């Protein structure tokens, strides 16, 4: 896997439970790296989350000829800046991952509080905003019903939907995020905290929050205020290192799509890495022997990379006639896993000397699509 722009690194612990003898082999966590495309460049078991225990794998990654990133995302930036500068050069820009920045705050909030989802959405708005052109196009599609199967949404419906988690889950792929500047984030976080807190010290901003009607508990826990102060100190490390146009891959709308909205694949890497962690723990079952768990995790990771490459291939298709051959709901489904079997299917009509070339070309468009200009199996 190559990288010339960004990469993200992180640890995950759930996958270690798949190893029966994890304590004997010293498997405490898995350290992995995702490139700007979201593909996994490396994944290794480590005995702790210390940098010294992942150093061998990180040094091996830095020696790859096609791994020359300009910036990195990490859940612990700006710690260990000197170490990463020695590996990838002093020009390497480091960023704190947006996901982990927000997670530090949401972990200190009570999820069963009546205002939890409202507070979460306002927290997101305090840190970033959606590109205005993308947002306007999405609102038009919601109001005229082209995105919702004919159901037209009013302003009140959209406002109610934004107060839930479903707006982000359904429509975030149509929106590009633009992260605010550090001082603006600090000011908005200050207002956000005052709006939802239920007590205030003498001389402080009055509290505007409320207790949960059922549990009679506040939304914030005692750790929230100190976490907020820490986040204010780290918000200067959130901004994107590249222009907005370079932070997303664009998938043009399907020719048969009624709404005509573009989809955006983020190059920040961290969000893709976290979604990979959710699947990684389920590639194998709990308590497997090491060799079987390794093989299943490797196979699952390779298939995950294939799926990412397949989606990126859609962003490079410009011929509408080619996309019309594939149903819109089938476009993002990976049509094959085994390259040897794929080559057999493609060469089968040739060996039988079939003269119907339309059959061959039609099958190629449906089941064979080169990945990033390279048909070889992705190496991890």
Model confidence over 233-252: pLDDT tens digits? 999 999 999 899 889 988 88
- Same domain for 308 and 226: no
Phi, psi torsion values for 115, nearest 5 degrees: -100, 15
- Residue 247: inside a domain: no
Q: With bands split at pLDDT 50, 70 and 90, how would you rate the model's confidence at 132?
A: very high
Q: With bands split at pLDDT 50, 70 and 90, how would you rate the model's confidence at 322?
A: low
Model confidence over 105-128: pLDDT tens digits? 999 999 999 999 889 989 999 999
Q: With bands split at pLDDT 50, 70 and 90, how would you rate the model's confidence at 163?
A: confident
Instruction: Examine the pLDDT at 380 and tell me if it is beyond 70.
Output: no
pLDDT computed for residue 361 by the predictor: 40
Domain coverage including residue 347: 320-367
- Same domain for 191 and 158: yes
Contact predicate 4/69, CB 8 Å = yes
For the segment 278-288, the average pLDDT, to the nearest whole number, is: 83
- Residue 376: inside a domain: no
For the segment 157-183, the average pLDDT, to the nearest whole number, is: 90
Q: Which residue has the higher pLDDT, 326 or 32?
A: 32
Instruction: Examine the pLDDT at 48 and tell me if it is beyond 80.
Output: yes
Q: With bands split at pLDDT 50, 70 and 90, how would you rate the model's confidence at 333?
A: confident
Task: Quote the mean pLDDT of the chain.
Answer: 85
pLDDT computed for residue 287 by the predictor: 83
Q: Domain ends where: 273, 294, 315?
A: 315
Model confidence over 90-100: pLDDT tens digits? 899 999 989 88
- Residue 223: inside a domain: yes
- Same domain for 231 and 107: yes
- Residue 249: inside a domain: no
Phi, psi torsion values for 147, nearest 5 degrees: -95, -15
- Same domain for 142 and 29: no
- Residue 346: inside a domain: yes
DSSP label at residue 221: -
Instruction: Examine the pLDDT at 348 and tell me if it is beyond 90.
Output: no
For the segment 142-155, the average pLDDT, to the nearest whole number, is: 90
- Same domain for 159 and 34: no
- Same domain for 15 and 59: yes
Q: With bands split at pLDDT 50, 70 and 90, how would you rate the model's confidence at 320?
A: low
- Same domain for 298 and 279: yes
pLDDT computed for residue 365 by the predictor: 38
- Which CATH number is 272's domain given? 3.30.420.10
Share above pLDDT 70 across residues of the chain, in percent, rounded to a whole number: 90
- Same domain for 358 and 308: no
Instruction: Examine the pLDDT at 378 and tell me if it is beyond 90.
Output: no
Model confidence over 4-23: pLDDT tens digits? 889 999 999 989 988 998 88
Q: What share of the chain is helix, strand, coil (3-state, %, to 5)?
A: 50, 15, 40
pLDDT computed for residue 359 by the predictor: 42
- Same domain for 348 and 223: no
- Residue 379: inside a domain: no
- Residue 248: inside a domain: no
- Same domain for 343 and 273: no
Query: Cα separation of 14 and 2, whole Å?
Result: 27
When divided into structural domains, the chain yields a total of 3
- Residue 129: inside a domain: yes
- Same domain for 183 and 148: yes
Given the structure tokens 């390259």, which residue do they identify? 339
Q: Give whole-number Cα distances, 27 to 10, 17, 279, 349, in Å.
A: 15, 9, 19, 49
Instruction: Examine the pLDDT at 56 and tell me if it is beyond 80.
Output: yes
Instruction: Examine the pLDDT at 166 and tell me if it is beyond 80.
Output: yes
- Same domain for 337 and 290: no
Q: With bands split at pLDDT 50, 70 and 90, how would you rate the model's confidence at 372?
A: very low
Angle, CA 142 vertex, CA 172 and CA 133 arms, to 5°: 60
Instruction: Examine the pLDDT at 104 and tell me if it is beyond 50.
Output: yes
């Amino acid at each position: 896997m190559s990288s010339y722009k960004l990469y993200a690194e992180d640890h995950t612990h759930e996958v270690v439970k798949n190893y029966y003898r994890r304590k004997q082999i010293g498997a405490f966590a898995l350290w992995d790296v995702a490139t700007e495309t979201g593909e996994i460049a490396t994944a290794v078991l480590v005995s702790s989350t210390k940098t010294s225990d992942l150093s061998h794998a990180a040094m091996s990654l830095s020696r790859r000829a096609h791994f020359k990133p300009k910036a990195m995302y990490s859940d612990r930036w700006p710690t260990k800046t000197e170490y990463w500068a020695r590996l990838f050069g002093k020009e390497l820009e480091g960023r704190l991952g947006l996901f982990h920045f927000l997670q530090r705050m949401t972990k200190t909030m009570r999820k069963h509080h009546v205002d939890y989802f409202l507070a979460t959405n306002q927290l997101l708005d305090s840190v970033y905003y959606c590109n205005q052109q993308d947002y306007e196009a999405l609102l038009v599609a919601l109001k005229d019903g082209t995105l919702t199967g004919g159901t037209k949404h009013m302003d009140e419906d959209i406002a109610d939907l934004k107060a839930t988690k479903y707006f982000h889950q359904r429509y975030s792929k149509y929106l590009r995020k633009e992260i605010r500047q550090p001082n603006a984030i600090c000011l908005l976080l200050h207002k956000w905290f005052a709006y939802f807190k239920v007590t205030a010290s003498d001389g402080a901003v009055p509290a505007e929050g409320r207790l949960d009607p059922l549990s009679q508990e506040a939304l914030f826990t005692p750790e929230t205020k100190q976490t907020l102060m820490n986040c204010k100190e780290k918000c200067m490390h959130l901004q994107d290192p590249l222009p907005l146009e370079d932070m997303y891959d664009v998938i043009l709308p399907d020719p048969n799509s009624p709404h005509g909205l573009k989809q955006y694949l983020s190059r920040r890497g961290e969000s893709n890495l976290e979604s990979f962690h959710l699947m990684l723990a389920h590639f194998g079952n709990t308590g497997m022997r090491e060799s079987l768990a390794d093989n299943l995790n490797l196979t699952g990771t390779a298939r995950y990379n294939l799926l990412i490459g397949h989606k990126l291939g859609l962003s490079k298709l410009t011929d509408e006639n080619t996309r019309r051959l594939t149903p819109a709901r089938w476009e993002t489904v990976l049509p094959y896993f085994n390259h040897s079997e794929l080559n057999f299917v493609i060469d089968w009509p040739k060996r039988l000397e079939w003269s119907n070339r339309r059959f061959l070309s039609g099958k190629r468009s449906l089941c064979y699509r080169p990945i990033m200009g390279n048909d070889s199996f992705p190496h991890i």
